[in-house]
Amino acid sequence: MFVLVNLKAYPCDPVEVAEAAHEVAEESGVRVAVAPQAADLRAVAETGVETWAQHVDPLAHGSHTGSTLAERVADAGADGTLLNHSERRLKLAEIDGSLSAAERVGLDTVVCANNPEQVAAAAALGPDAVAVEPPELIGTGTPVSKADPDVVTDAVEAAAAVDDSVDVYCGAGISTGDDVESAAELGATGVLLASGVAKADDPKAALEDLVEPL
């Protein structure tokens, strides 16, 4: 299982979380990555943890003030990027363009989707993975893998019907090892989570709990 921790714009210390995630990954052997704000990518990557951007724009170098270029994200040390997160929705053509930008510089890609129908559409664009996240469960602490298991199994089926090389992750409300274990039992090969770690009093303890059953 892949544990991808999105720090969103939460007021946590990104380097503290990254150091904890790196230690937990080393100690457990579980693949753990951290997705900080773009401004924190380099500092997070320097901890040695697998580092992901939260978004890249469907652009190349040019007159694009305020944009996040895949080239600069990769240069800062990122290994991958989220796209189309529920809090950073893109048009279909933008997802396609951002995937091309990410692939141009060798970033891994996860396209987020609300439901199995969107998972199928996202899988058709050829990302490395899709992440199904019912928006109503995001940030609630109620795990999708328990509250809405069918959405996970249906997403796995939908992605496989389009392209069985695309991994399927699930997210929303995941905060314990028990939640991760349930996600794996439903066929997900990773989890995307945020508040369970970014808002934890002790991020390392939260991460240790997440990987404990794996």
**What residues are labeled active site?**
85, 133
Q: Is 95 annotated as a binding residue?
A: no
3-state secondary structure 64-85: CCCCCCHHHHHHCCCCEEEECC
Coil, strand, or helix at residue 51?
strand
Q: Nearest residue by C-beta to ligand G3H?
A: 195
Q: Is 194 annotated as a binding residue?
A: yes
Q: Does 149 bind ligand G3H (CB under 6 A)?
A: no
- Would you give the DSSP letter of residue 47? T
Query: Following DSSP, what letter does each residue of 130-192 receive, concatenated?
Result: EEE--GGGTTSS--HHHH-HHHHHHHHHHHHHH-TTSEEEEESS--SHHHHHHHHHTT-SEEE
Binding mask 72-91 for ligand G3H (x = CB under 6 A): -------------xx-----
Contact with ligand G3H (CB under 6 A) among 1, 2, 3, 6: 6
Contact with ligand G3H (CB under 6 A) among 171, 179, 182, 186: 171
d(CA 184, CA 178): 10
Contact with ligand G3H (CB under 6 A) among 186, 193, 206, 210: 193
Q: Does 123 bind ligand G3H (CB under 6 A)?
A: no
Name the minimum Å distance from CB 65 to ligand G3H.
27
Which residues contribute to the site for ligand G3H (CB under 6 A)? 6, 85-86, 133, 138-139, 171-174, 192-196
